[in-house]
Amino acid sequence: MADSNSSHDYPSENPKPDPDANSSLGNDSSIEAIARRVQDSLSLGKKHKFWETQPVGQFKDVGDTSLPEGPIEPTTPLSEVKQEPYNLPSLYEWTTCDIDDEDTCTEIYNLLTNNYVEDDENMFRFNYSKEFLRWALRPPGYFKSWHIGVRVKVSKKLVAFITGVPAKIRVRDEVVNMAEINFLCVHKKLRSKRLAPVMIKEITRRVHLENIWQAAYTAGVVLPTPISTCQYWHRSLNPKKLIDVGFSRLGARMTISRTIKLYKLPESTVTPGFRKMELRDVPAVTRLIRNYLSQFVVAPDFDENDVEHWLLPTENVVDSYLVESPETHEVTDFCSFYTLPSSILGNQNYSTLKAAYSYYNVSTQTPLLQLMNDALIVAKRKDYDVFNALDIMQNASFLKELKFGPGDGQLHYYLYNYRIRHTLKPSELGLVLL
């Protein structure tokens, strides 16, 4: 059946599987993989020398409901924030990356293309485009100082990167100014030298300098302590290619032609009034999405500027569609996805997997299932190979029926310096990080 089609997870932000994931040994039973999984499960009990020193929920406090929700540490006066950057090992220096500069953007692109997140079996690696990076890193009110690189002093080669962007995030009824941290990457040759903690401390310092004291981030690895753990699901659009490159495998008792037939989609969308979002739709979409996101425990607090930036279509970066009622001309429903290809490592025939990632979707009049089916039709027509979605928001209501299969990738959500009393269900999350 469709829900067992993915033998390899897509490179979610999850280079290692969660040792508790039920699919663990079924897909990959090489000695190396087993050894790695045993190590992973042992490491669950191990100390986090860095994260134990940080204001984040600690494993020892899990289940202690006497601790209050909200900031873990109080804000300190700005004058007490360290004014100088943290020390790097002597061969390296900090650089603030100007992504408007084409050469700098290319350096970042190359670092990430060669060193960023890979799947468990090192078959795929995220390949964020330059246009995507410019979109992700320049939202309203962004700070250049939060685009941080590390260079080799002598050669000036860029060898590490971390970023933040400002975001208003609502937790229950509290709207909190936060940094969304992303693109943490250390060159493969510089791994395991404790560079990541210095980078995290430095970005934290620069976030504090803007009088912001909380952050949100996701990771495939388990750290102290997830506010929620979600799963990726994958909908094949081009099953033949996905099988050829080893992303999925042929189901039991399936032939390739039956598989192609199973995933076939109509040529055109079915919802009357379904069209691409335009600039004039920003106020209506903002109202729609604000109202919709209010039902989730953690969600962004979007204003019109945010909606214009994050949701107005940008070619090969973000696609957004809405339903305008043919009778009332009211905007009633909305769906969107972003474009994040992956490099296919070491395949003779293919070099890139074109993936769409479900972003924000709102259904009020059109059933979510029908809306998402139209999103799949659009993505197929635009030649995407696969459509990915997390089981957050109301996504679980359509995944199985629309023939998404569960991946083995889990994505953990974290907040820095903000305690949530109970772990959240994925369906309580209304936040998508890129």
Shortest spacing between CB 183 and ligand COA, in angstroms = 8
Amino acid at 304: E
The yes or no reply on residue 90 touching ligand COA (CB under 6 A) is: no
Sequence length of the chain is 434
The yes or no reply on residue 109 touching ligand COA (CB under 6 A) is: no
In b/e form, how buried is each residue of 375-391, taking b as 16+ CB within 10 angstroms? bbbbbbeeebbbbbbbb
Q: Which residues contact 13 (CB under 8 A, 6 or more apart)?
A: 117, 218, 219, 220, 409, 411
> What's the angle, vertex CA 42, arms to CA 3 and CA 89, rounded to 5?
105
The yes or no reply on residue 50 touching ligand COA (CB under 6 A) is: yes
x-marked contacts with ligand COA along 14-33 as a string, rule CB under 6 A: -x------------------
Q: Among 194, 264, 275, 421, indicate the residue that binds ligand COA (CB under 6 A).
A: 194
- Tell me the catalytic residues: 434
The yes or no reply on residue 202 touching ligand COA (CB under 6 A) is: no
Three-class secondary structure of residue 241 per DSSP: helix
Q: Among 108, 167, 219, 297, indicate the residue that binds ligand COA (CB under 6 A).
A: 219
User: Distance between CA atoms of 378 and 361, rounded to whole angstroms?
Assistant: 14
Q: Among 193, 261, 264, 421, indicate the residue that binds ligand COA (CB under 6 A).
A: 193
Using the contact rule CB under 6 A, the part of the chain among 3-11, 131-139, 146-154, 217-225 near ligand COA is: 217-225
Q: Among 123, 133, 184, 203, indicate the residue that binds ligand COA (CB under 6 A).
A: 184
Strand 174-186 to 214-219 pairing: parallel
Residue with tokens 């936060």: 178
Q: Among 60, 82, 191, 258, indicate the residue that binds ligand COA (CB under 6 A).
A: 191
The yes or no reply on residue 221 touching ligand COA (CB under 6 A) is: yes
The yes or no reply on residue 338 touching ligand COA (CB under 6 A) is: no
Q: Among 22, 30, 83, 192, indicate the residue that binds ligand COA (CB under 6 A).
A: 192
Burial class of residue 249 in the structure, from the number of CB atoms within 10 Å of its CB (0-12 exposed, 13-18 middle, 19+ buried): middle
The yes or no reply on residue 55 touching ligand COA (CB under 6 A) is: no
Three-class secondary structure of residue 404 per DSSP: coil
Contacts with ligand COA by CB under 6 A lie at 13, 15, 48-51, 115-117, 184-186, 191-197, 219, 221, 223
